[in-house]
């Protein structure tokens, strides 16, 4: 595969900070002609910066950073303008709540990027780095136990960026055990939990909660529901269905999953903690990343590192 017309490519790479040591340029026409020494490496660098090479010759997709799948409504006209002017008038939604503008010719990459920057839209890269944070709707949803958008924003501010890791690093957050955002299949996944507490004086023994519990965690004893902590998944259904508010929220926290992934060889993540305080989510994610940087091998997903070194050693280091 040959990349043509490299002046544009050089400008984009330089703007993204990937051009150091790649090429020396002066003002002559000859020097502005780009002759890549490693064309595939140049494509990888563009991919790191959010420009995804398409199968069609000379065409790229711009991958936009859309934190937690949210964009202000006022930027949508600019997306339509860029897609129409520099692409083919199409906008694609990705499985990780992102947006891509496909079929942008390499000569228009920098112009399209600058147009998006006018309304504050940055690009989201690929490669061995933290990818865009995926969350469910959190407290917007009737089942949400905490503000997933707020935690997603904290994680995004702390970790999203060009920091080089052994492999891709995906983070997912769900607001309850329904797990709509599939945190178990991310390198790091957080799932909302609530520990229900019973106010016996308000309970009439109606057994609505017992019938509603799909996990058989509640049984009636002496006219009151009793919770089995070994069966309880901390979903909060008993709290939601109680007609007299006898069940109330106790601790709210997070189940922590590590090492999940999709792809050719999908893995369900290790569950390493339950009811982790919300305030610990960012520090724990940081310790996981530090462990991965120190112990992970190039090209090895986090689950490979954990498998190789042992989950108990991993837990001791990060919790």
| For the chain, domain boundaries | 6-117, 134-318
Strands 171-174 and 188-198: parallel
pLDDT tens by residue, 132-177: 999 999 999 999 999 999 999 999 999 988 789 999 999 999 999 9
| Helix, strand, coil tally for the chain in percent (to 5) | 35, 20, 40
pLDDT at 125 (0 to 100) = 79
Query: Rounded distance, CA 145 to CA 24, Å?
Result: 54
The parts of the chain modelled with pLDDT lower than 70 are: 1-42
Q: How many helices (H) and strands (E) does the chain have?
A: 11, 11
Strands 171-174 and 134-135: parallel
Query: Rounded distance, CA 129 to CA 77, Å?
Result: 30
* 134-318 carries CATH number 3.30.413.10: yes
| H/E run at residue 237 | helix 237-241
Residues in the chain: 319
pLDDT at 269 (0 to 100) = 98
Query: Rounded distance, CA 241 to CA 196, Å?
Result: 12
Query: Rounded distance, CA 285 to CA 276, Å?
Result: 12
Query: Rounded distance, CA 100 to CA 278, Å?
Result: 32
pLDDT at 40 (0 to 100) = 56
DSSP letter assigned to residue 27: S
Residue found by looking up tokens 């190039």 in the block: 298
Instruction: Annotate 164-226 with DSSP letters as a single string.
Output: --SS-B-EEEESSTT-TT-GGGSSEEEEEEEEEEE-GGG-----HHHHH-TT--EEEETTEEE
For the domain 6-117, what is the CATH code? 3.30.70
pLDDT at 33 (0 to 100) = 37
- Whether the CB-CB separation of 319 and 272 falls below 8 Å is answered with yes
Distance of CA 27 to the CA centre of its chain: 42
């Amino acid at each position: 595969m040959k990349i043509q017309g490299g002046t544009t490519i050089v400008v984009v790479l330089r703007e993204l900070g990937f051009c150091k040591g790649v090429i020396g340029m002066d003002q002559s026409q000859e020097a502005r002609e780009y002759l890549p020494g490693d064309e595939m490496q140049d494509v990888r660098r563009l991919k790191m910066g959010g420009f995804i090479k398409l199968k069609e010759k000379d065409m790229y997709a711009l991958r936009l950073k859309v934190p937690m799948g949210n964009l202000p409504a006022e930027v949508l006209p600019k997306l339509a303008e860029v897609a129409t002017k520099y692409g083919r008038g199409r906008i694609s939604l990705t499985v990780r709540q992102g947006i891509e503008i496909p079929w942008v010719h390499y000569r228009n990459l920098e112009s399209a990027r600058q147009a998006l920057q006018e309304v504050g839209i940055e690009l989201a890269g690929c490669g061995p780095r933290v990818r865009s944070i995926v969350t469910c709707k959190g407290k917007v949803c009737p089942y949400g136990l905490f503000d997933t958008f707020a935690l997603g924003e904290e994680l995004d501010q702390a970790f999203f960026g060009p920091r080089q890791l052994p492999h891709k690093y995906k983070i997912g957050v769900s607001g309850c055990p329904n797990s709509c955002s599939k945190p178990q299949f991310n390198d790091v996944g957080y799932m909302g939990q609530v520990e229900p507490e019973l106010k016996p004086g308000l309970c009439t023994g109606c057994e609505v909660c017992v019938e509603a519990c799909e996990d058989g965690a509640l049984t009636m004893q002496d006219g009151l529901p009793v919770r089995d902590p070994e069966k309880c998944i901390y979903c909060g259904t008993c709290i939601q269905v109680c007609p007299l508010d006898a069940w109330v929220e106790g601790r709210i926290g997070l189940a922590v999953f590590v090492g999940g992934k999709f792809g050719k060889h999908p893995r369900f993540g290790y569950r390493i903690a339950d009811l982790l305080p919300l305030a610990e989510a960012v520090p724990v994610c940081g310790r996981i990343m530090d462990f991965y940087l120190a112990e992970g091998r190039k090209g090895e997903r986090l689950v490979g590192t954990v498998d190789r070194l042992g989950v108990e050693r991993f837990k001791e280091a990060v919790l």
